[in-house]
Every structure is written in C-alpha cells, then in structure tokens.
Structure 1
Amino acid sequence: MQRLRRCVWLPTLFLPLAAQAENATYQAEPLVVTGSRYQASGWRLPFSVNRVDAEQATLGKPGVNLSEALGSVPGLVVQNRQNYAQDLQISSRGFGARSAFGIRGIKLLVDGVPLSNPDGQGQAATFDLDTLERIEVLRGPFASVYGSNSGGVIQLFSRDGEGAPKVSLDTSQAAYGSSRTRVAAEGGNDKAGFIVNRSHFETNGYRDHSGAILDKTFAKLTLYPDDVSKLSLSFSELDQNDTQDPQGLTWAQVQSDRRAAAPSALQFDTRKTVDHRQFALNYERSFTAGTWQSTLYSGTRRVIQYQSIPVAAQIPASQSGGVIDFERSFHGIGNRWIQSFDLVSSLLTLTTGLDYDHSRDDRQGYENFVGDTLGVKGNLRRDERNEVTSLSPYVQAAWQLGKLDLQAGLRHSQVAFDVDDRFLSNGDDSGSVTYRELTPTLGASYALLPDLNLYASWGKGLETPTLNELSYSGPDNSFGFDLKPATSEQIEVGLKARLADATSLQLALFQIDTDDELVVESASGGRSRFQNAAQTRRRGAELALESQLSDTLRSSLAYTQIDATYSKDFTSNGRLIDSGNRLPGIPARTLYGELAWQPLDGFSTAIEGLYRSELYLEDSNTAKAAPSYALFNWQARFEQKVGAMTFNQVLRIDNLLDREYIGSVIVGDGNGRYYEPGPERAWYVGAGVQYQFD
C-alpha cells in the first residue's frame, strides 16, 4: 500500500506545499476525494463533506442496509421503510424527500461507479456493507460538480484485499424471522489483492406481507502493474425474488393494526423481483505531469413488479396496467486528468473530465388480473424502448495560497430521453426531450486560526424529471415531454474547528432556492402526474461534533435544522397550495448521538439515540403529520483471538424503550396511505469466525 500512496492521486506534489500552510496536526485529518476529485483533507475544503469509516458504519450492526451507517451525518434523513420492495428513502437537505421508491435527487456512487441511473433514480440495495472501507457524504453547492440530479452525493468505497489470506464466516438471527449468513475470503500483497463476499439474508418482515430474500455477491481483484498504476476489477450481483410489498397504511389503519399490510397489497399480492449484475473497471496512473483516472462499467437489471392498481382504473386505453416488467442494460465511462502546478508561493490543481452514462429499457406493462384472478400477469398494455443518456464535461480548479484555499468548478450537464412506443392501439407516445444546463460552483476557505477554518461556497444545480415522473405527466397519461428540470441556487457558509486535541466540530448554514420544483399535479388510479409549479426555499443549519473523550470513550453528535417551504402559490389536485406551506417529507429537526465505550481489547459497547420531528405528508399540510419520535439502540461486541482464528459475537437491541413510531412516509400518496410504521423493540444476535493463513 505504501507504493500506491506514492503513485496514485497527487500527494507527491501536494503535501510539501500543504505542510507550509497548515499545522502538522492537520495531516492526521481523514482524507476524502468526494468534491475535490483528488485526495485532500476535509478540513481545508470549502464545503460540507463527512467521512464515515467502516468500523463506525458496520461494527455491532446487522449489515443489511445503508440506513445503519449514515445516522451520524448531519443533513441526511435516512428512512428505513421496512419494505425491501421499495428500498430506502434518503434525502439530503430536502433533495430526494419526495421519492416514492428508491433514491432520487442524490448521486449514489460505489468506487466511482454510479448506482443512480442517468435520470437520477437509483437504488442502494445493491451495495454490500461487508466490503466497505469508508463512506464520504457531500452536501451543499459543490454536489453539483457531479452533474444533474446531485442534490447531495453519497460515495461508498470498497476495501482492497491486503495482507495474508483470510477466510471468514458470520451468521446472525434477529426478530421477525430475520437471519443472515455471510462467507468471505480476502488477501493481498504489493502485486495484487482480492476480496470475495457472498451473503444471504431473509426475513418475514415486521409487517404482514413484507417478507424478503436477498442474495448478494461481490468480488474484486486489485492489481499493481508497476509503481505508478493501479487497476481494479469488480463484480456485484443482487438476486431479490418475490419480495413482498406491504404498501403504506392510512392513519386509521395504523391505529387499528400497525403491523398490517394494506388490504390492496393482500388482494393483489403486491411483490417485486430484481436481478441486478454489474461489472466495473477502475484504472489510475501517475505521470510526471499529473494523474489519469478512468472508470468503466456495464450491467443489466431485470425488474418485475406487481402493483395494486384497481381493475376499474385500468379500463381507459391510456392506462398501462398494473404489472411493470422491464429489462435494463446500462453502461458508462468516466475519465479525468488531475494536474498540479507549483507556483512557488501557491499550489494550483486543475481537474478536467468527462462523464458518459447510458441506460436502455425494454419495458412492458401488463394488466394485473386475468378474469377474476388478481395479482397475475394479464394482457399487454404497454410496450416501449426507453433510452436515457447523460454526457457531462467538467473542469475544477483548487488554488492554495497560504491560509486561503479557493475552489471553482463548471459542469455542462446534458440529459437526453428517447421513447419508442411500440404499443400503438392507444396512440403513439414516442418522442424525445433533452435537458441542458451549465452549473458553476465557487468556494473559499480561510484558516483564521490554526484550529479554526471559515468557509463559504455558492453553486447552481439541475434536477431533471426521472423517467417514471415523465411517463404519465402528459395529456391523458401520455409521456410528459413538456416537463422542465428544476434549477436551484445554493449558498453555504460554515466553520470547521478543533475544540481540543481529540474533538472536532463542523457547523454549516445554508440556503437553497429552487425554481420549477417538480410537484404532484394529480394522483389517481395508482398513477401520479407531475408538474413544474413551485418555487421553494430551504434554510437550515447543520452541526457535527466528534470527540475522543478518553482512551476508551468516544462520542459523536449530529444535529440538523431545516425550514423548507414553498415560496410561491400553486395548484395541485385542484387545490390551492399556499406560499409558506412546508415541503412534505422533510423533518424540521433531526438529532443523532452515539456514545461508544471500549474498556479493554475484545469488548466494546455503544448506545445511540435518534430524534426526528414530525413529518408533513402532502403539499397542503392538512393530512395527519407523522408524529415526532425518539429512539435508543444498544449494542455490545465481543472478540477473542486463538492462534490464527478470531471469534466475534454481537448482541444488539433496537428501539430499546419499545416506542411506537412511523419509520417512513410515502409523500403525496393519492389513497391517503402515507404511513409505514417502524418496528417495536427488536433483538439481534450474531457470531462469526475468521481464519488467517500464515
């Protein structure tokens, strides 16, 4: 690894000058690449970026989904739906809060490869936390340097295989019929490294009709051809068959039986099957002048989803049925060149690159009934070829002038949608639309004191409609080619400080103004139509505090406050939505805290707490808001080493005080089924063994 640190990125040019400008203790700061594109201390960057290492993200946790790892990051709201058919709901400073399924409006990357489609819709379920090295989370204006639909950036990095070969086996049991088994092998030297991981998870689910089985595979081969280059090849796979979808509940149904599935979910046996496979290649090479980085990826995704759209609602010819069936192929490439210029008293680093992403869907829709039998594939109602292409050249500059750091970026985002309608009995919805926008960013950071940095940043962003939002937003449920992208302007000011040798603090204040925000125009028959009808403003503050209180005690605190409102009247579902109404799905206050204690080698314990204020559910703010709640979780981990073998055991209790709460919400649901209840007190036990060869 020492050879790699010398040859990849730009430390050979960066560190000598950086040492002149900052106190030596700054070198111990965790390094990040998200936002700057090159390895840099998050301390000096003029924007909000947090790094979560694997130990904090995974130890003592089930390792099932990303919600376990991101609680300590301010500005993020991660809602576990307890519904594996719809994935997590993640928002960053409000971006993505409206997503009815999966993740939208946030750029999700794994080892530089997007898990978000070019239209901005993505899924987090494909990543395996077992192979995690670290997570980097970027919020604010500089998220737009990652292109359209980047209200925030969550970038995950898998570790490289290192050291003597080792094999491991873990198993766990948990409440609600949940179990998980994992087997892995990894190792490496200065020539090559490997890691292979396979996991199987199944659960009956907290709620009725919420069972799931997930099989994940991840394999990675890392090669070091010479002293100045690195090549990584990876493969990931997710098999998720017949995952049950309990759907949301009305408030009356929550009060009657919070663990129930929606009656329509049982009536139509709502479920989803996903088969996802992806290959990726990452190459980095250092030259005398700079560093070349290249990423290539390709994959396929098959989805079959049975929905609960009523039979009567499928009578109109424009209706596309209640079964979604598509096969997607996708690929992309990202290339960048990073070069530094030593200007005697300053250091200028330029990055220029080009990202290309493409997806092609062979998409059908079918009736979800045959005669009187519901929840089966019936007559064909939709047959399309959908293509989405994104092409984005960009340039970034970072200039270090002693205590002052300046950052600037400019990106041209172009996202093209093309629809070839082959089901012509209800008219031809074929067509195309292309969105283009220049998104500049500017930032400055100043070391006012050796332990205090002040910064400010500004930027513009672009959020295109997703393919799903375009699909039914035209006349008579046709393709909504007239929808415009939402454009935003963001301002952020903040400080980064060390209050003591082992305590760090980050404080950020931000404002986001958005034009042409996408909102629901109407929702009926299981379909939502979208429109550009709103201007919004989000103002808020984020605080992150981490401290090593002693050799054995560590604490972390994350607080977010956000005032997210409509700043212009508009009409939705035939109702006037007043300026000043709150944006749904965005809590005004979120607080997370963790206290971890490791009194001796082989034993650690931690308690974490989460508070979330009430959530509005739709634009008029008249529906019953999801109440605020506070939860506490506790875990303990034990480890023993016997020769070449290492044993571990984990005990965990979630929702320690057995509170009833709404874990997530479905924003703007046309049937009033907004609520997805979270589980009561739940236990988890796990054990594992690892053998390391000589």
Structure 2
Amino acid sequence: MDELFGRSGRLVAMAAVLWGAGVAQSVADSAGVTELDAVVVTATRVEARNFDLPVSIDALESDVIQDQTARVLVSEVLKRVPGTLVTNRGTFAQEEQIMIRGFGGRSQFGTRGIKLVADGIPASTPDGQGGPGLFDLGSAGDIEVMRGGFSALYGNHSGGVVQVFTEDGPVDPTLSMRLMAGSDGTWIAGSKFGGQFGDLNGVVDAYHSETDGYRDWSASIKDQVNAKLKYALPSGGTLSLIANSMNLPNSRDPLGLTAEQVREDPRQASEGALIYKTRRTLDNMQGGVILDQPVSDADQLRVMAYSGTRSNEQFLAVPLFSQNAITSAGGVSTYDRHFGGASLWWSHESSLAEGPLTLTLGGDYDRSTDDREGYINEYGTRGALKRNEDNSVDSWGGFVQGSWAFAPRWSLDVGLRRTQVRFDSDDHFICTTEQVTAPGTSAGTCSGSTVAISESSYNPDNSGSKTYSAWTPAFGLLFGLTPDINLYANVGKTFETPTFTELAYRPDGGSGLNLDLEPAISWHYELGAKFLLGDRTRLNLALFQIDTDNEITVATNRGGRSTYQNVPGSRRRGAELMLASEFDHGFAGHLAATYIDSVFTDSFVGCAGIPCRTTGSTLNAATVDSGNQVPGVPEFSVFGELSYAYAPWGFEGGVSVYGQDAVYVNDRNTETAAGYWLLNLRGGFTQRMGGLELSEFVRVDNVLDRDYISGVRANDANGRYYAPGAGATYLVGLTASYAF
C-alpha cells in the first residue's frame, strides 16, 4: 500500500497546484450557492445526500448532459467522473465501452463488468452484457455513477453501476426542437415535448442521428425514442410508465487496424471489413411500469416490471475457409431476444439506540431468451445455416441493506445480497454419423460445409447448462470530522459471471459452449474523504484496492469473434480525485483525475494464436508474466474544464482538456497504444422572448487535430488492436423551445 499512497499523494499535489488559486478565492468569497451535495439513490435505493454516503458516487445533472452536446453518446459526459473511462470505438456497430476502476476493458462490444440501469430498468442483460446506446441523453435528468464495493448489492458485475434517470416534464407544457450538423457528414434532428397536465407528468424525446464516420466504412444511423409518464395517485404514490425504442438500421464496422496501418492512414478500414462488409443491424424495444407507494409515514414500497424485444444481425470478417469447417458458427451472427423481469423493494425508517435507521429489503428476477442462428458470410450476404440454438439466462437476487447513524458523528451502512444466474442452451444444429439435423447440399455433409461427416469430423449436440451463485456483502463506515468534512471506509465483494457471448466459443476452436469458464470474484477496499470547501467548492478523494480471483480475460480475438478464459488473479490499486468549484464573475471549474495500477498477480498461459490449447498438448500458447498490466486500462486519466457564463449576453462556454496514459493492448504487454491529450472548445448563446427560447452553440473537439487511439481490441490475433480516434471535429447546434 506504500506505493499506492505515495503515487496518490503526488496526484493530489498536482491537482492542488492546478486548482489552488481558484479554490482559495472561492472559499474566501462564497456569495453564491451551488448544489454540491446532490441527492442520489443508486447507493442506498432511497434518497440520500451524496456527501453523507460512505461510497464513491457522482451525479451529472441535466445541464451538463444536454447543454452544448450532441446528446448521442455517453462518452460526451462520463469523462467528468473520476475512475470512469469510456472508449468510443468510432462506430455504432460496437457501441461504447464503459470502464470503472479498470473493469470492463475486455469487452469487445458494448459494456461488460458494469451494471447499466435506465429508470430502474436494467440496461444490462441477466448475464451482464450491456449497451449504453440504450441511454437517451436528450431526456436524461441525471446520471449517477457508483464505484466500489457497494455496487455488490446490484448483482452480477465487477466494477460499478451507471444509472440514468429520465427528467420530469416541466411545469408548463413545452415543445423543443433541435438540429445539429458537423464534421464527417454528421447531422442530428430531434424533438422533445413534456409538461404537467393535472396529476399527469410526461416527457417524450425522439431523435435521428446520422454520420459518415471518421474512418472509411464507419457510416452509422441511430433512431431513438424515450418516453416517461408519471401519474400522481390519490394514495400519495406515483405510477410511472417507461418506454424506449432504439434502432440501428445499418451501422458499418471498420474493425481494428495494426500499428503499421495506423501510421499509413488512420482513416482506413480493415481489409477484412471491406471484403466481408462487416456491419450490424439492431432493433430494441422495451417498456416498464414502476409503482412508488408510501405505505405509512415510515414505510415505502417500490414495484417494477419490464419487458422487451431485441433483434440483432452482425456480419463478421471470418475467412471463408474457416467458415467451411463443420464446427464453425459462420460469419453472420443473428438473434431474436425476448427479455423481462420484475423487482420489489420495501424501505422502513425507524430508530435504533436513538439513532436513525433505514432498512431496505428487496428481490429481483430477470430473464432473457435468445433464438440464435449463424450463417455463412458470403462477402456481405447471408449464406447457408451454420448455427441454430435456443439460449436462456435466468437471474434471481435478494438483498437486505441498512443505514444506521449510531452516534452523533458516525453512520454505518451494511448490505448482503444473494445472486444466482443460470445459463441454458438447446442446440438444434447437429451433424454426426448418428444424427443430422442440419443436412448439407450433398449427402453426408453438414449445412454450410463441404467436409464429409465422419467419426473425426462432426458437429455434436452442444446443449448444456450451468448455474453460478454467490453471496456478496458490503460494509461502509462514515465519520463526520467536521460539518464540512466526512471521512469513510468501505469493503465489498462483487461477483461477475461470463456472458453467453463469452461462453459461446472455445479457444481451442472446438464446438460447444465454453462451460469451463468460472465467475470472477473481487474484494473491494476503499478509503475516502469528502470536503465542502465553502458554499461553492466540493472536493472528493478516494484510495482503493481491488483483488480479483478468476479474472475473465480475452483468450483469442479474430474477425470480430472473441473467446475467453479465466486467469488466476489480478489487483487494481488506485486513487481518484474530483474537484468542482464556482468562482467569481461567472467562472466555474471541474477536475476529475484517476490513477490506477492494474496488474495480473499470477503468471498464466495465454493464447498467441488461433486455435489455442493452453493445457495438455499446447498450441499457439505463450506465458503471461505476473506483474503484467491488464490490457486496455491506462495508468492515469485526467479531465479538466474551465467554463464561463455571462448572463447579460446569455453566453456560456468552456475549454476542456482530456488526457490519458498509454495502454497495453494484450496480456503479454508487447504493444501499447500511446497516451494522448486533447483540447476541446465550446460556446453558445441563449435568447428568451416570452415563452420562446432559442439556443445556438458550436463546439470543436480535438482542436489541435492530434492523432490518438480512442479504443483498443484486446488480444487481437492479427495485431489489429487499434481503433483510431477522430481528428479535429466541429458540431454546430440550434435548439428552439416554446412553453405554452
């Protein structure tokens, strides 16, 4: 721990030098008041002041999320949260990758290891795979990001929880329209309507986003609608209806590049992407109902139920000769998914030994069923059937959570959760000498293959099931050193199962599910301090260590398809700093800095090629040394912004800097993506004329046109690790709203 405290001390010192003068002025002259102790619910499931919780949790409010942003990608705003990293892969086909405290870096598409929630409805499937593209930022009231051990009470994940809450409609019915245009053929058109109508409050947001993309073969279209209706019941409760639709009709995927290709032309697409027309079509619809009902002055009940459908078709760059194998699942992956679930919470407020006590009991059930098929990718068109199976995941969870102020300056938060996740797969694609359910075009062959079925060449029945379960406790202690300084410590255990995608393929190239994968178990330890420095400045500090057994890592990655394996262990040590302040004369500042040392604690045998066998007769295997860095995780990242507002002109703007250290791209640490710093500018004006409000803005990101890598594909078998980020880009926007 000496190394951790030493480096974190240098981090704090660096921040103090950068910020000291402004903070001193803010504390000395604190005439204004800003909301420094936002009310949050993610940590305790009941409303509590952020400042009074023994956990690391930050809330981004609607003005940060919606003002002078495109409102399409969470990477636009989450960089403001320490400990949190979002990589934009430059294509909607793969969605964005959220990492918290070094978890989530192995995800090859979407987000893994992080629990995603939208208005109380899971945006992660029961197995843990999530898509932040489901978050509608145009109607987001706030985003809460919780890191550390207390996220254990949300079930299957390792790193933390990201929860988005749709805003309420304004008091007066208001219609707004927005239009934006920018670099690389980007344009966005959206509208929002909301208001209060007696006992009914509602808001609906819809937009269309389209871009040619920075790189070749990266054009994408996204359509999204999000709606919330909230009815005030005569009994004092509320009944909320949530509906969300997201459609990606044809998102092209340029795939990763080698280091040499990046040097030649970072805007090019991989040759395989152009040959096999790699792309994704996705349609997701879901809805839910939430009842919040006070049962008495001391008791609150919440009931939630949801349901949805999701269809997906993805074309992968798998060579035709590889697809010809009887055991191959082909180069086109499709599924039709039905999902749903429900949860029930009960909270009770009382006292114990004259100290306030809040107790919460709850349970949840989630289910997802997939009709999954695979086909030959014949240079961008769907060919013969190669895979046909029904998959389902069921997750049950129950928890108890309590918060007790047992002494005037002390409070204790504890929780315990039991989670069970069951995977079932029913294989309908069988080609053996005894049974053929997927016959080929000629006798004795299997669909999509010219290889004759024999005793040594066959595709067996790969049906199977597996159940994972764990108890996950969390403990937190908070001490109020002064009314404006809180010190805290917490510890918690998280549990993360493989996803069905991670179980789908085996590193050795054989058929069937990779049922040897075990869940990752992590213990989180954290010390922290929260400061209110006057009325206009907030400072948060946190030190953490996370020890993980059975870390799940990428074994092989080729042509858009990945396989996974467990490794003995890893350790993440780090420090986080968040500093936010309002200065005089319209200035304000925000700083988020993270240091993390993320390493494998034991050596293991990894894959250096495909197919891979790491036990018995080894093939394409290589040793990964103890102490190697976990790929995809930078040692430091920093976001800083200085903003300025001048009310007489209706002007608001800002300059921001984002930087991160180099990241290793494979377990063996043989290559890195270089670190970088980006400078961004934004500014705009707002005019109000009665019920009409007009806002115009322009923003320029990566002003200095720096070359950088925005995302990496860990352990890519062909060395195509790198997804180059966009150069200097601009976005111009106009919003008009009218309150009736």
TM-score range, shorter chain: over 0.9
Q: 1:552 aligns with which of 562, 586, 601?
A: 586
User: What is the number of residues matched between the two proteins?
Assistant: 664
Partner of 2:398: 393
Partner of 1:345: 354
TM-score between both structures, scaled by the size of structure 1: 0.94
Could you give the per-residue CA deviations for residues 529-566 of structure 1, whole angstroms, max 9, x where no partner exists?
A: 32222310000000000111125111010000000001
Partner amino acid, structure 2, of 1:406: L
- Residues 382-391 or 474-483, more deviating: 474-483
Partner of 2:452: none
1:511 paired to 2:520: no
TM-score between both structures, scaled by the size of structure 2: 0.88
The separation in 2 between residues aligned to 1:522 and 1:281, in whole angstroms, is: 41
Unmatched 5+ residue regions in structure 1? 1-24
Q: 1:320 aligns with which of 309, 314, 329?
A: 329
1:410 paired to 2:416: yes
Task: Answer whether contact 1:520 1:572 (CA < 8 A) is retained.
Answer: no
Partner amino acid, structure 1, of 2:244: S
Task: Answer whether contact 2:605 2:624 (CA < 8 A) is retained.
Answer: yes
Distance verdict in 2 for CA 1:191–1:28, change over 3 Å: farther
Distance verdict in 2 for CA 1:527–1:651, change over 3 Å: closer
The separation in 2 between residues aligned to 1:36 and 1:181, in whole angstroms, is: 37
Task: Answer whether contact 1:173 1:180 (CA < 8 A) is retained.
Answer: yes
- Residues 176-185 or 641-650, more deviating: 641-650
The separation in 1 between residues aligned to 2:401 and 2:560, in whole angstroms, is: 44
% identical aligned pairs: 41
Partner of 2:447: none
1:85 paired to 2:93: yes
Partner of 2:498: 465
Classify the secondary structure of the residue corresponding to 1:417.
strand
Task: Answer whether contact 2:34 2:536 (CA < 8 A) is retained.
Answer: no
Partner of 2:603: 569
Classify the secondary structure of the residue corresponding to 2:705.
coil
Task: Answer whether contact 1:474 1:481 (CA < 8 A) is retained.
Answer: no
Per-residue deviation, 1:512: 0.4
Partner of 1:612: 660
Could you give the per-residue CA deviations for residues 445-468 of structure 1, whole angstroms, max 9, x where no partner exists?
A: 000112111100001111101101
The separation in 2 between residues aligned to 1:390 and 1:641, in whole angstroms, is: 50
1:113 paired to 2:121: yes
The separation in 2 between residues aligned to 1:544 and 1:430, in whole angstroms, is: 49
Classify the secondary structure of the residue corresponding to 2:273.
helix
Aligned counterparts, 1:451-462, within 5 A: 451-462=484-495
Q: 2:707 aligns with which of 641, 660, 663?
A: 660
Classify the secondary structure of the residue corresponding to 2:132.
coil
Could you give the per-residue CA deviations for residues 345-369 of structure 1, whole angstroms, max 9, x where no partner exists?
A: 2011110000111000000000101
Task: Answer whether contact 1:613 1:629 (CA < 8 A) is retained.
Answer: yes
Per-residue deviation, 1:316: 2.0
Per-residue deviation, 1:575: 0.5
Partner amino acid, structure 1, of 2:471: L
Classify the secondary structure of the residue corresponding to 1:428.
coil
Per-residue deviation, 1:50: 0.4
1:438 paired to 2:471: yes
1:680 paired to 2:685: no
Partner of 1:252: 260
The separation in 2 between residues aligned to 1:513 and 1:264, in whole angstroms, is: 39
Could you give the per-residue CA deviations for residues 141-170 of structure 1, whole angstroms, max 9, x where no partner exists?
A: 101110011421000000122311111111
Could you give the per-residue CA deviations for residues 317-347 of structure 1, whole angstroms, max 9, x where no partner exists?
A: 1110000111000001111000011336201
Partner amino acid, structure 1, of 2:409: K
Distance verdict in 2 for CA 1:424–1:106, change over 3 Å: same
The separation in 1 between residues aligned to 2:662 and 2:151, in whole angstroms, is: 27
Partner amino acid, structure 2, of 1:411: R
Aligned counterparts, 1:265-344, within 5 A: 265-288=273-296, 289-343=298-352
Classify the secondary structure of the residue corresponding to 1:637.
strand
Aligned counterparts, 1:120-199, within 5 A: 120-189=128-197, 191-199=199-207
The separation in 1 between residues aligned to 2:200 and 2:563, in whole angstroms, is: 52
Could you give the per-residue CA deviations for residues 300-320 of structure 1, whole angstroms, max 9, x where no partner exists?
A: 000011111000111221110
Partner of 2:647: 600
Could you give the per-residue CA deviations for residues 266-308 of structure 1, whole angstroms, max 9, x where no partner exists?
A: 1111110001100111110012140001111100000011111
Distance verdict in 2 for CA 1:46–1:190, change over 3 Å: farther
- Residues 473-482 or 559-568, more deviating: 473-482
Partner of 1:98: 106
Partner amino acid, structure 1, of 2:684: R
Partner amino acid, structure 2, of 1:329: H
The separation in 2 between residues aligned to 1:551 and 1:191, in whole angstroms, is: 41
The separation in 2 between residues aligned to 1:392 and 1:526, in whole angstroms, is: 33
Unmatched 5+ residue regions in structure 2? 1-32, 432-458, 608-620
Partner amino acid, structure 1, of 2:306: Y
1:642 paired to 2:664: no
Could you give the per-residue CA deviations for residues 204-249 of structure 1, whole angstroms, max 9, x where no partner exists?
A: 0000000011111112211001252001102111111111101111
Task: Answer whether contact 1:469 1:529 (CA < 8 A) is retained.
Answer: yes
1:59 paired to 2:59: no
Partner amino acid, structure 2, of 1:486: A
Distance verdict in 2 for CA 1:116–1:526, change over 3 Å: closer
Classify the secondary structure of the residue corresponding to 1:673.
coil
Distance verdict in 2 for CA 1:182–1:337, change over 3 Å: same
Per-residue deviation, 1:51: 0.7
Classify the secondary structure of the residue corresponding to 1:579.
coil
1:621 paired to 2:630: no
The separation in 1 between residues aligned to 2:690 and 2:577, in whole angstroms, is: 44
Partner amino acid, structure 1, of 2:142: R
Classify the secondary structure of the residue corresponding to 2:292.
strand
Partner of 1:578: 625
Task: Answer whether contact 2:555 2:715 (CA < 8 A) is retained.
Answer: no
- Residues 534-543 or 147-156, more deviating: 147-156
Structure 1 stretches of at least 4 aligned residues deviating more than 6 Å after TM superposition: 25-28
The separation in 1 between residues aligned to 2:636 and 2:168, in whole angstroms, is: 38
The separation in 1 between residues aligned to 2:710 and 2:353, in whole angstroms, is: 55
Per-residue deviation, 1:524: 5.3
Q: 1:419 aligns with which of 425, 428, 452?
A: 425
